[in-house]
């Protein structure tokens, strides 16, 4: 391996579109190795071939997630979901940074240096890196994407400090992607937390690599003080909050119960972004509950927290329609964005005394439970509509599943199909018609669109329908 010279802004090669790679040989493998070595020597997380003067569609990436360096040949972004805004730099624009909006999640299809195709979904920093390097292949520098004038890191940190001083003094408590989407909306509105509190790093992936939660990554990217207590009863957390003396604490999908000692600390209390129209669907799985029930509308609620679970007075609500095809993961992103907008719009009014929080109507309250893996089990003795709702409610976690000939399959995506000549039979019975597969239910049938075999990869049914036998039965139990 050798270290190559990195081209810097001003070189015309960086503004040219790269050509597809058609020859997979030792020279290509050597180029990928050299680029990886060059990326590491520059303390980068990604490097595209045009940056070393080679106008071919190739980039390498290592975001430190435990997967090691990955080579992408002829990459193609298949889908994008969500939105993130964060600090970005580039080895070809040394010493400069800017705020760049990117998708929160991307699915990419590419080849490795041997020409083998692969597909993978990336989120957070990895999704940002994939988009940044793909831009290089199209002759686009991140300066063209930046929402801010590029500046040095020191200048950026000073600007961020001034922004925080102008904003409401608040702490934010949240952990997963839902929380970062809320934070993104607050940031866009000019509100940055003075402190972020999130869950500790946890082992993740097959390699059980210790991984920071998305909200922690978000805070680190912006140099915002971060605390990750194992428990909200940790004295260090209470001490940090007392020192900050926030006007309010905003929570969104934090994942821990807040004791009275924390609830009583801020001058204006703690407010929570809850993903339902309270008092309907209190608890930990309101998004899944709304889809399972076949609701046509859900929403988000900004509420003042009390010692109960989602029982406090309501500051404001915002409704959101539920499309027949949207799954829980997609709906979660949409509601997080809506929730962030709601906080940015209504929290200042609440703090100014322009809004009075109203008590919930206990007669209309409903509860949800924490999801378990077992909740993904599909029951084909229900109507096609109920089965379809179950599949999309369980996506992405815990995932809907059923058994066929003793083997477990994940049922990833479906649609309701009127039971006719293509699909009509006992509950769970398979009918294959060309490249399509239907599964009978107690009433009607579903058309299965995506499936994943045990220990296999997710597949479109039109690629594998021929492998399934007409008349075979999907069932909820392992024994068939």
417 is catalytic: no
> How far apart are the C-alpha atoms of 257 and 239, rounded to whole Å?
18
- pLDDT, residue 480, reads 44
Structure tokens given for 118: 């692969």
Active site annotation includes 412: no
Residues 6+ apart with CB under 8 A from 11: none
End-to-end Cα separation, the chain, in angstroms: 54
- Tell me the β-bridge partners of 278: none
Cα dist from 35 to 28, 49, 151, whole Å: 11, 7, 26
pLDDT at 395: 97
- Is the pTM here over 0.95, yes or no? no
Q: What's the token pair of residue 319?
A: 């409704």
Annotated catalytic residue, options 14, 28, 46, 335: 46
Q: Which domains does the chain have, with CATH numbers?
A: 12-144 (3.90.45.10), 167-364 (3.40.50.170), 373-475 (3.10.25.10)
User: Three-class SS of residue 192?
Assistant: coil
- Structure tokens given for 418: 């009127």
Determine how many CB atoms are found less than 10 A away from the CB of residue 219: 26
Q: What is the pLDDT of residue 82?
A: 87
Q: Catalytic residue at 136?
A: yes
Helix or strand holding residue 87 (H, E): strand 84-88
For the question of residue 369 being annotated catalytic, the response is no
Task: Give the active site residue among 14, 31, 58, 91.
Answer: 91
Residue 47 confidence (pLDDT): 98
Helix, strand or coil, per DSSP, at residue 38: helix
Q: Whole-angstrom Cα distance, residue 131 to residue 361?
A: 46
* Cβ-based neighbours of 341, under 8 Å, separated by 6 or more: 185, 189, 318
Could you confirm whether 153 is annotated as catalytic?
Answer: no
Active site residue 91: yes
Closest C-alpha to 6, from 34, 28, 32, 38: 38
What is the predicted pLDDT for the residue at 476?
81
Structure tokens at 406: 């003793």
pLDDT, averaged in runs of 10, over the chain (480 residues): 94 96 96 97 97 98 87 97 90 95 95 96 93 98 94 86 70 97 92 96 86 96 95 94 96 94 95 98 98 97 96 96 96 96 93 92 96 96 97 97 96 87 78 95 95 93 95 81
* CB contact at 8 A, 440 and 426: yes
What pLDDT score was predicted for residue 1? 80
Residue 329 falls in the annotated catalytic set: no
Q: Which helix (H) or strand (E) holds 132?
A: helix 125-137
Catalytic residue, from 14, 82, 89, 136: name it.
Answer: 136
Which of 44, 98, 132, 444 is catalytic? The answer is 132
């Amino acid at each position: 391996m050798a270290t190559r010279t990195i081209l810097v802004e001003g070189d015309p090669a960086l503004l040219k579109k790269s050509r597809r790679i058609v020859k997979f040989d030792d020279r290509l493998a050597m180029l990928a190795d050299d680029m990886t070595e060059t990326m590491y020597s520059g303390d980068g997380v990604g490097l595209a071939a045009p940056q070393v003067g080679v106008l071919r569609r190739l980039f390498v990436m290592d975001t430190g997630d435990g997967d090691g360096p990955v080579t992408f040949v002829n990459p193609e972004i298949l889908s994008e979901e969500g939105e993130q805004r964060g600090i970005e730099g580039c080895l070809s624009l040394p010493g400069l940074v800017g705020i760049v909006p990117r998708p929160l999640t991307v699915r990419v299809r590419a080849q490795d240096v041997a020409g083998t195709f692969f597909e993978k979904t990336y989120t957070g920093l990895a999704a940002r890196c994939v988009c940044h390097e793909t831009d290089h292949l199209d002759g686009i520098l991140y300066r063209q994407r930046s929402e801010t004038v590029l500046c040095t890191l020191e200048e950026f940190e000073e600007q961020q400090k001034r922004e925080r001083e102008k904003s409401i003094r608040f702490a934010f408590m949240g952990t997963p992607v839902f929380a970062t989407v809320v934070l993104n909306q607050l940031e866009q509105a000019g509100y940055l937390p003075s402190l972020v509190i999130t869950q500790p790093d946890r082992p993740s992936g097959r390699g059980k690599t210790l991984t920071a939660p998305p909200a922690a990554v978000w805070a680190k990217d912006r140099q915002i003080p971060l605390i990750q207590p194992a428990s909200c009863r940790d004295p260090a957390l209470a001490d940090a909050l007392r020192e900050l003396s926030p006007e309010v604490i905003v929570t969104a999908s934090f994942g821990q119960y807040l004791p009275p000692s924390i609830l009583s600390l801020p001058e204006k209390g703690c407010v929570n972004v809850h993903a339902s129209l309270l008092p309907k669907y209190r608890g930990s799985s309101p998004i899944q509950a709304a889809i399972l029930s076949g609701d046509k509308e859900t929403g988000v609620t900004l509420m003042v927290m009390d010692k109960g679970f989602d029982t406090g007075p309501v500051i404001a609500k915002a409704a959101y329609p539920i499309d027949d095809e949207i799954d829980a993961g997609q709906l979660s992103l949409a509601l997080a964005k809506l929730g962030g907008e709601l906080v940015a719009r209504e929290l200042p009014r609440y703090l100014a005394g322009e809004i009075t929080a109203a008590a919930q109507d206990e007669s209309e309250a409903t509860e949800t439970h924490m999801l378990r893996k077992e909740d993904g089990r599909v029951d084909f003795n229900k109507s096609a509509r109920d089965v379809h709702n179950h599949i999309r409610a369980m996506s992405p976690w815990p995932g809907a599943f059923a058994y066929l000939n003793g083997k477990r399959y994940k049922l990833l995506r479906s649609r309701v199909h009127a039971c006719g000549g293509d699909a009509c039979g006992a509950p769970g019975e398979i009918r294959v018609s060309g490249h399509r597969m239907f599964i009978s239910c107690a009433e009607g049938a579903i058309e299965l669109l995506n499936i994943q075999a045990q220990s296999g990869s997710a597949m479109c049914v039109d690629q594998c329908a021929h492998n399934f036998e007409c008349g075979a039965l999907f069932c909820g139990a392992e024994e068939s």
